[in-house]
Amino acid sequence: MWRVPRQLCVHFARGSRLSGPWNRPAAFMSTLLINQAQYAWLKELGLREENEGVYNGSWGGRGEVITTYCPANNEPIARVRQASMADYEETVKKAREAWRVWAEVPAPKRGEIVRQIGDALRENIQKLGNLVSLEMGKILVEGVGEVQEYVDICDYAVGLSRMIGGPILPSERPGHALIEQWNPVGLVGIITAFNFPVAVYGWNNAIAMICGNVCLWKGAPTTSLISVAVTKIIAKVLEDNQLPGAICSLTCGGADIGTAMAKDERVNLLSFTGSTQVGKQVALMVQERFGRSLLELGGNNAIIAFEDADLSLVVPSALFAAVGTAGQRCTTARRLFLHESIHDEVVNRLKKAYAQIRVGNPWDSNVLYGPLHTKQAVSMFLGAVEQAEKEGGTVVYGGKVMDRPGNYVEPTIVTGLAHNASIAHTETFAPILYVFKFKNEEEVFAWNNEVKQGLSSSIFTKDLGRIFRWLGPKGSDCGIVNVNIPTSGAEIGGAFGGEKHTGGGRESGSDAWKQYMRRSTCTINYSKDLPLAQGIK
């Protein structure tokens, strides 16, 4: 099994463990896409042939120069100069200084700044969506939709900025008040992954900002241009409001920057989106200094369809959840459990649906399926298919690399595996769907829960009792538990995250804002007496 080299581990975020080489011989650099007329819009985002990858109120970067590539053709797009350790140190200092200003801004005023960031993103949504499609590889509608998620969480955060707070509690002592006070933690480090290079930062950034925190972002190296372009938009808003740019800092970089963030006591909360393997290392480093971590790690998500399921919902749901973003979502459906009475019919319908998937350049509006992010991802796809066949699985659709430029593989369906096959318990960031038969509710609920991850899950049924058993304590053990919809496509109003090896973190909506704040219980004596605790006289 392919393993992440230890020296690279902390550098990677979810799925970016698949990342390819960032430096190639000069011959490969001769024709950057940014210099071609059809990609002139890249310069409208403030991008150049070589871009500075550090922002802390001013732009810079004294580290290694890397090149990012388009997954659809593996052609170089542009270069980014990453942060050195000296850049990192300077940026953290400036971010801490900026916090002293930002923390004093009233929360509703902070919300107004976040509103302006959302408006600026909205004005650039098409170009940013194009960039996500070009550099990450997801289809255009998903790229634009991802930027829309950042816009939406900004709107959500604006309202939240007038609502955060703690309760006034009844005190047992006369002349006393008991209140909960919530304050920002300070500096929030945000390490994001290649597969959602805009939205995950947005979930963290918008909520952290209205809570009074400053942010330090390290995106995946293979999507560095997206990190730079988004930060340029945010920086303009901060500058227009005469606020320190270091409120939203950026340090593009690799393992050294990721490790520094995890070990740095000045980083009060580290939000990490990535693989379980790397997340475990991050959590240990943060815990060693008694810091806080917010982990969004792996997922091995299942869809369960019972005999009473509406197959007109099951088939498109399974298809979208399994092949959306070419299987590179943390919420991708990797396991499909079908009641034995509908198994063959659903598999046949899925094969017909898969045959109609439109494949092509992800920025073409009529395309539904694009490439994997890197060549290494293609190798992992092939390795997983081979392993599935060795363990008794049958590839009934796909299983091969497509004969075209770029990192394209066939969306794949595998049947015949045992529910506990090791490959089915392994998260592979690729469009491979393992299909299983089941007999009854008890066994399939157990099979859903037997994997180490606990992110997303879904059942399809009309049985009301079964639905509530699924939602209850003996049902799914995941953080996202759906009924009659796919495993992917979470809304920003709910808290996003999972249990077990998924890390336990929660981002986005509901009360996820509490992760970005510290709570104080405050007792105020407004009387002239001093009643002591525990009845002491």
Q: Taking each helix axis from N to C terminus, what angle separates 224-240 and 107-123, rounded to the nearest 10 degrees?
A: 130
Mean pLDDT of the chain: 94
**DSSP 8-class letter at 270:** E
* 288 and 368 co-located in one domain: no
pLDDT computed for residue 5 by the predictor: 33
* 308 and 429 co-located in one domain: yes
For the CA atoms of 150, 154, 157, 162, the dihedral, rounded to the nearest 10 degrees, stands at 180
Which residue range forms the structural domain that includes residue 479? 301-483
pTM score of the predicted model: 0.94
Q: What are the helix and strand counts (H, E) for the chain?
A: 15, 24
Q: Report how many domains make up the chain.
A: 2
**419 in a domain, yes or no?**
yes
Residue 217's alpha-carbon distances to 17, 88, 93, 437, in angstroms, are 18, 11, 14, 44
* 239 and 287 co-located in one domain: yes
Which of 423, 429, 358 shows the shortest CA–CA distance to 395? 423
Mean pLDDT of 81-95: 99
Q: What is the pLDDT of residues 435-468, one digit of tens each?
A: 999 999 999 999 999 999 999 999 999 999 999 9
pLDDT computed for residue 2 by the predictor: 31
pLDDT computed for residue 30 by the predictor: 53
pLDDT at 17 over 60: no
Site of tokens 């007496």: 529
**208 in a domain, yes or no?**
yes
pLDDT at 359 over 60: yes
What are the backbone dihedrals phi and psi of residue 523, each rounded to the nearest 5 degrees, phi first?
Answer: -110, 125
pLDDT computed for residue 7 by the predictor: 33
* 218 and 252 co-located in one domain: yes
Site of tokens 């990797």: 334
* 288 and 350 co-located in one domain: no
pLDDT computed for residue 4 by the predictor: 32
**489 in a domain, yes or no?**
no
Residues belonging to the chain: 537
* 289 and 357 co-located in one domain: no
**C-alpha 494, offset from chain centre:** 15
* 201 and 250 co-located in one domain: yes
CATH of the domain at 282: 3.40.605.10
CA atoms within 13 A on the CB side of 422: 7
pLDDT computed for residue 74 by the predictor: 98
* 186 and 241 co-located in one domain: yes
pLDDT computed for residue 358 by the predictor: 96
**C-alpha 425, offset from chain centre:** 21
Residue 297's alpha-carbon distances to 219, 311, 384, in angstroms, are 15, 31, 20
Neighbour-count burial of 254, counting CB atoms closer than 10 A to its CB (0-12 exposed, 13-18 middle, 19+ buried): buried
* 428 and 512 co-located in one domain: no
pLDDT at 59 over 60: yes
b/e per residue 147-179 (b: at least 16 CB within 10 A):
bbbbbbbbbbbbebbeebeeeeeeeeeeeeeee
**DSSP 8-class letter at 409:** B
- What the block records as the tokens of 51 is 């871009």
The residues annotated as belonging to the active site are 296
* 512 and 422 co-located in one domain: no
- Backbone CA torsion sign across 12, 18, 24, 30: negative
pLDDT at 422 over 70: yes
* 350 and 467 co-located in one domain: yes
Site of tokens 């396991």: 335
In the structure, what pLDDT confidence band is assigned to residue 149 with cuts at 50, 70 and 90? very high
Q: What is the pLDDT of residues 459-487, one digit of tens each?
A: 999 999 999 999 999 999 999 999 999 99
Q: What is the pLDDT of residues 281-290, one digit of tens each?
A: 999 999 999 9
Strand segments, DSSP code E, in 195-309 are 214-218, 248-251, 269-273, 292-296, 301-305
* 384 and 285 co-located in one domain: no
The residues, ordered by sequence, that sit 6+ positions from 10 with a Cβ below 8 Å of its Cβ are 255, 258, 259, 262, 278, 281, 282, 285
